[in-house]
Amino acid sequence: MDLAWEMLLGTPEDDMALVQYIIPCFKRYSMGAHSVNRLLNYINRHYVKRAVDEDEGWLMLSDIFDVEEGNTRKAKSLRERRVEELKKWGYEEGGLAETLALAKQCVEAASTLDCVVPLAALALRRFRTEFIEPLLAAPKVKGKKGTPGAASVGDKSHLPKSRLACSVQELLGVQDVSPEECLGLARDLAATLCAIGVRNGHPLRKKLDKFLTTGTPKCL
């Protein structure tokens, strides 16, 4: 579990190189996590399943698809809420089982640390909390409020950005990166953030999604 922390310690100082460092790190980490998940799947079948049944997990598929007659209105409301949450991660009712599985894993990876989740989702959550979230944290602003020349309330343009936000901004603004590489890095980073449970309302995810949908940065 110290691997994510070790990768954080190895991050390059150059902002432009940061995205190029994160993506291969995540691919190797994800492959290893899924291998461990398969090898130790008995933990998922016994401990994790029991914990989820005891309401210690985030998502119970039985609440979503096996609602039986006689269940209370509360159970139906819970089912609807969870389906709504899955849709935020790409699931559509009646969609493929693979899409459901991916959305479920994203929801689990986005869960808080007190939730019991399968090993693969646990590893992805750890990648987020130990590696990516420190890179998403903006440095604290020094000084006191009310100083002369301070920006108006609500103006955040003057505030320092996180390391990863600076890296993405530089990636989308450089001239010496080919359009194909720029697009590929943006797409891979967006997929990484989704997979580890960074919610779609996060400013960096919104910036990447906007670019991938409609945007044409300077490198294009």
What is the average per-residue pLDDT within 46-51?
89
pLDDT for the residue numbered 21: 97
* Contact present, 57 and 115 (Cβ < 8 Å): yes
The pLDDT score that the predictor gives to residue 83 is: 85
Phi and psi torsions of 83, nearest 5°: -65, -40
What's the pLDDT at 159?
60
Angle at 93 between CA 89 and CA 94, to 5 degrees: 125
pLDDT score recorded for residue 111: 93
* pLDDT digit string, tens, across residues 152-185: 445 455 567 899 999 999 988 876 778 888 899 9
Mean pLDDT of 142-147: 54
Buried b (16+ CB within 10 A) or exposed e, 53-91: eeeebbbbeebbeeeeeeeeeeeeebbeebeebbeebeb
What are the beta bridge partners of residue 116? 57
pLDDT confidence bin for 117, thresholds 50/70/90: very high
Q: What is the pTM of this model?
A: 0.81
pLDDT bucket at 44, cuts 50 / 70 / 90? very high
Q: Taking 70 as the threshold, does the pLDDT of residue 100 lie above it?
A: yes
Return d(Cα 116, Cα 135) in angstroms, integer: 25
- Per-residue pLDDT at 148 exceeds 50: no
Residue 60 has pLDDT above 60, yes or no: no
Residue among 91, 93, 96, 127 nearest 110 (CA): 127
* pLDDT tens-digit map of 188-206: 999 999 999 999 999 999 9
Query: What is the per-residue pLDDT for 207?
Result: 94
Residue 149 has a pLDDT of 46
Give the C-alpha separation, 33 to 123, whole Å: 6
Q: Is 79 in a helix, a strand, or coil?
A: helix
Query: Of 84-98, 122-136, 193-207, which gets the smallest average pLDDT?
Result: 84-98
Task: State both tokens at 203.
Answer: 């400013």
Residue 188: CB atoms within 10 A of its CB come to 17
